[in-house]
Structure 1
Amino acid sequence: MTNIPSKDYRPEWVDKLADDVTLEGSILDGVVQGRDAVLAVIGGARELYDRQDFDLVGPWGDSSFIEDYTADVQGKPLGAVHLLTFNDDGQVQHIVVNYRPLSSVMFFSRLLHEKFAGTPYAEHYLAEE
């Protein structure tokens, strides 16, 4: 495991996504599927971070990888844990992202709904209250 205090962190796994990779998590309704869709959703979320500090990055068991970090989004604290599972070919097959606390999760989800308005990704996030 490695501590990485860097907003510029670019994980190696991004270049190893399976074509049919899936993404799910506490901020999403439903599952995002496909390499391009997952890259768009993850990239869009990172664009909204004011700060991102990694606490834990590295292998988790034989076929998984974990990232634990904290971030700020428009002054609200956001913690996240990503668990990635690799397939037999060494590609990322499944990603689970769990955010905390609930108030920040809801706020962030609404921001992402706005960001992705007019795209198929918007349906995965909370609309305005």
Structure 2
Amino acid sequence: MTNTGRGDTDRQGLSYYPWWLDNLADDVTLEGAAMNGTARGQEAVRTIVVTARGLYEFQDFAYAGDFGDNGFLEIYESSIQGEPVKVVVTVTRNAAGQAQNLAVLHRPRNSLLLFSRLMHEKFAGTPLAGHFLSESPEQRARA
């Protein structure tokens, strides 16, 4: 187990880079509470993760380390446009030690919805946009 600590550098997310991002299986999958469907393949998954990390104002890790025989877990807090968000990332490794399946949970719900809308904006005009919300509940109610 590895606890990343809580120094200023860690809080800003400057000292942490997920090992698994450069060790994705060819057929890796990514699912998340903020997503519709499942993203598949190295390029799609890497693009989504890198874009998501860019939305976080910081990453204050409570834990990043192995769990079980083939698992890796990240638990951290952040904010997105000033809104607090807690994130849990689970990574399952395949027999070759590559990241095979990723699952991401964002909470609370309002932050999850904000995250999903911002991701949709980032991917507008691309196939990845379909994995995220296109409008807020307020926008849908006005339509």
Per the shorter chain, which TM-score range?
over 0.9
TM-score scaled by structure 2? Answer: 0.87
| Residue deviations 1:38-65 (CA, integer Å, cap 9, x gap) | 0000000111111111110100100010
Aligned equivalents of 1:123, 1:13: Cα separation in 2 = 24
TM-score scaled by structure 1? Answer: 0.96
Residue 36 of structure 2 is matched in structure 1 by 29
Residue 92 of structure 1 is matched in structure 2 by 99
Residue 2 of structure 1 aligns to which amino acid in structure 2?
Answer: T
Residue 19 of structure 1 is matched in structure 2 by 26
Report the RMSD for the aligned CA atoms in angstroms: 0.9
Segments of 4+ moved more than 2 angstroms:
1-5
Residue 103 of structure 1 is matched in structure 2 by 110
Q: Pick the structure with greater CA Rg.
A: 2
How many aligned residue pairs are there? 129
| Deviation for aligned residue 1:94 | 0.3
Q: Is the 8 A contact 2:2 2:66 kept in 1?
A: no
Unmatched 5+ residue regions in structure 2? 137-143
Residue 101 of structure 1 aligns to which amino acid in structure 2?
Answer: P
**Whose helix fraction is larger, Structure 1's or Structure 2's?**
2
Task: Note the 1:52-71 alignment, pairs <5 A.
Answer: 52-71=59-78
Residue 127 of structure 1 aligns to which amino acid in structure 2?
Answer: S
**Whose strand fraction is larger, Structure 1's or Structure 2's?**
1
Unmatched 5+ residue regions in structure 1? none
Residue 53 of structure 2 aligns to which amino acid in structure 1?
Answer: R
Identity among equivalent pairs (%): 48
